[in-house]
Structure 1
Amino acid sequence: MPLNRRMFLRATALAGGTTAFSGALWQRAFASGPAQPGPGPYGPLQAADGNGLQLPAGFTGRVVARSLQRVEGTRHTWHPAPDGGACFADGDGWIYVSNSEVPVVGGVSAVRFDASGKVTSAYRILNGTSLNCSGGATTWNTWLSCEEHDFGLVYETDPRGQKSATARPALGRFKHEAAASDPGRKVVYLTEDQGDGCFYRFRPETWGDLSSGTLEVLVGSGTGPVQWAKVPNPQFWLTPTREQVSNAMHFDGGEGCYYTHGVCYFTTKGDNRVWAYDAAAERLDIAYDDDLVTSGEAPLHGVDAVTATASGDLYVAEDGDNMEINLITTDGVVTPFLRVLGHDESEITGCAFSPDGSRLYFSSQRGKDGFIGGTDGYTFEVAGPFRR
């Protein structure tokens, strides 16, 4: 990035060009600009454990599943290239679902845990789809699995595997990345993994039913007040959805997306930013940008998947760099939470907390060998005293 742009961005932030958020827990966090490096609430990372995980004191990790190997205690073979994921309560236990970002046979698998965290079963919930990248959980406890190609669809799936998965073309055909449900506005936000991609929202005719509704795109001129405009032809097009509205905002490679406490956070890999859309105020701001770090070294690069705890802390995964998940606290501090050693050509995907907030799940998509097909993928669990 040219130095003049870097200096301009920093000057703008320090002058108040990037303002504090009005989300409930984030009003004070960025009063002086986007998140800055600092000490985290859990202390420094310790030496790597036997699985190559560097964690803070008091946290432990384990491998839950390996690509092309049977999930321990089951007859199910875990999929290659594990990507987006989420957790769902299920009786006295929970389920973790995981996409497979491979062509033609992508789909989704799930692992069920009992109350003690023991794996009790693993199974498929979606087959025959392609490049299932990220997605998002709905408030009615289904998983939206997103295809990442030019005519990609969103598939609504049942984490328990009891109901057939259903394509939801009303959410548009484009290079889908992630989705996030906003029950306050009764909309689903969507990111698009293109260098000039857009940020969308879908307004279903009936909340809880994604078979019909209106796809809209964010319009505006930058941070500050923004609006939404209807996408004329979201399903069948000669002109891509991102080019159908003249004043649509364009983002450099949309990635993760997560809604919490009135704010939808989404990441863009091309400029290494975490954005914050204040849904009530209809305002867009920047929660993190490595070019807006004003002291010390920026710890977070290659922003990708994002999730949050009930307390409002954000956890942002890296695609590459030094394979970290970074924590952005409600005080506006960004700091490494964990690091995966020996997976130098991989990326971290599928970050999701168990329903009680005590365990964090994520994957190393390509594992130690770094093969693009993801045949050496690892899915991890980290347990410990997370702030809830």
Structure 2
Amino acid sequence: MERRNFLRGAVIGASATAFGGSLWRGAALADPAQPGPGPYGALRPADANGIQLPNGFSSRLIARSGQRVGPSSYAWHGAPDGGACFVDGTGWIYVSNAELSTGGGAGAVRFSSSGAITDAYPILSGTRRNCAGGATPWNTWLSCEEVGRGYVFETDPWGVKPAVRRDAMGRFVHEAAAADPVRKTIYLTEDESNGCLYRFTPTTWGDLSSGKLQVLVAGSSTTGSYRWADVPDPDGSPTATRSQVSGAKKFSSGEGCHYADDKLWFTTKGDNRVWQLNLTSSTYELAYDDSLVTGGSAPLTGVDNVTSAASGDLFVAEDGGNMEICVITPTGVVAPFLRINGQSSSEICGPAFSPNGSRLYFSSQRGTTGSSSDGITYEVTGPFRT
């Protein structure tokens, strides 16, 4: 099947232009989100895929590690992790990383306008522990290595152009990336217990071959103002990037990050927090903290990948916990959106919406057996809020 040049598409999902999140506009949470009735109602009993969903939603198994995807000859990769959707004519493409210590990389699934799978193929290979990443406004997928002095690779979701290693984006335990088209920069999380939040500003927007890597500098509080400081040696040797700048704010195991409505949302798994960076005011605060939940148990733990819907609702995947994707509304309510049963040794990864916002893709990295060779990628369809 002929694959279109990747510059002809428009990116949806993890990109800077995806889902404006207008309900958050000009607003900041007075307090971190608290449990309450979710906007979609209670979860129903598990379906045939073992997934509990609200009324009106249904799930479909898209791909399983080691098995051919749809009509293609591509066997889906192991340990599917971070992902994003890209417009492809009247259809779309979902890309997914492979978080494998050897034989990592990324793959893609192509869908027709009706949602039928038409093709699948690799877009990156020969890398290590490709965990999360992020989409760019120029329709490429940034695949990040979660290893010491790991790299960022820029890949083509159409599988036409070869992947390119982007050394200027720094060498550290990379997790996720989120593009900010207003400031023409890309934010990067670091999965270390004392990791940092970075931004990379390319010399020319759209060309990641050169630029400036900076780290966020702020106090120890959970709210306040911040600034950016240059990282002297992005190569991270002999001194790790997180240790090069005095005053760099430390975060407990940075995970997913997502740009929407001139804000950056990012998660830290070590303390089960969702942070909100208010880019216009250069301030930060907590959108969620499980230790601050009152009146009951925390619905969201093991926070990981994050994305948003057209409504401004944040969808946060759990690494462990009770295998849920939870929603955080702009009004500060956190509630389960879905739960996977029978896969307690896995984690949920790669949530991303289709172009029209009616389909949510995500993966269970280790499936029913707890093995990286048993990853499963799903699609949920239903009346998502707009």
Aligned length: 364
Partner in structure 2 of residue 131 of structure 1: 129
2:359 aligned with 1:366, yes or no?
no
Deviation, 1:32, is 3.4
Deviation, 1:28, is 7.9
**Partners of 2:92 and 2:84 in 1: how far apart?**
10
C-alpha distance after superposition, 1:110-146 (max 9, x if no partner): 0000000000000001111111000000011110000
Partner in structure 2 of residue 68 of structure 1: 66
List structure 1 runs of 4+ shifted beyond 6 angstroms.
Answer: none
**Partners of 2:106 and 2:141 in 1: how far apart?**
10
Normalized against structure 1, the TM-score is what?
A: 0.92
What secondary structure sits across from 1:291 in the alignment?
A: helix
C-alpha distance after superposition, 1:289-342 (max 9, x if no partner): 011112232100000010001221100000111100000011110000000001
User: What is the correspondence of 1:12-91 to structure 2 with a 5 Å cutoff?
Assistant: 25-26=23-24, 31-91=29-89
**Partners of 1:211 and 1:226 in 2: how far apart?**
27
Deviation, 1:31, is 4.4
Normalized against structure 2, the TM-score is what?
A: 0.92
Partner in structure 2 of residue 182 of structure 1: 180
Partner in structure 2 of residue 261 of structure 1: 261
**Partners of 2:330 and 2:72 in 1: how far apart?**
40
What secondary structure sits across from 2:187 in the alignment?
A: strand
**Partners of 1:297 and 1:203 in 2: how far apart?**
40
Partner in structure 2 of residue 102 of structure 1: 100
Residue 107 of structure 2 contacts residue 121 of structure 2 at CA under 8 Å; is this kept in 1?
yes
**Partners of 1:195 and 1:41 in 2: how far apart?**
34
Root mean square deviation of aligned Cα: 1.2
Deviation, 1:29, is 6.5
What secondary structure sits across from 2:62 in the alignment?
A: strand
2:153 aligned with 1:155, yes or no?
yes
Question: Aligned partner of 1:247: which letter?
Answer: G
Residue 22 of structure 2 contacts residue 312 of structure 2 at CA under 8 Å; is this kept in 1?
no
Partner in structure 2 of residue 230 of structure 1: 230
Partner in structure 2 of residue 194 of structure 1: 192
Deviation, 1:224, is 1.0
- For structure 2, the residue ranges without an aligned partner over 5 or more in a row are 1-20
Question: Aligned partner of 1:108: which letter?
Answer: A
C-alpha distance after superposition, 1:210-269 (max 9, x if no partner): 110000000010321100000000025200000000110000000001000011000001
What secondary structure sits across from 1:375 in the alignment?
A: helix
**Partners of 1:122 and 1:31 in 2: how far apart?**
41
Residue 30 of structure 1 contacts residue 332 of structure 1 at CA under 8 Å; is this kept in 2?
no
Residue 25 of structure 1 contacts residue 261 of structure 1 at CA under 8 Å; is this kept in 2?
no
Partner in structure 2 of residue 214 of structure 1: 212
Alignment match of 2:91 (pick from 90, 93, 98):
93
Question: Aligned partner of 1:250: which letter?
Answer: K
Question: Aligned partner of 1:345: which letter?
Answer: S
- For structure 1, the residue ranges without an aligned partner over 5 or more in a row are 1-22
2:251 aligned with 1:248, yes or no?
no
Identity of aligned residues (%): 62
Residue 22 of structure 2 contacts residue 311 of structure 2 at CA under 8 Å; is this kept in 1?
no
C-alpha distance after superposition, 1:343-381 (max 9, x if no partner): 01000001100111110000000001112xx11110000
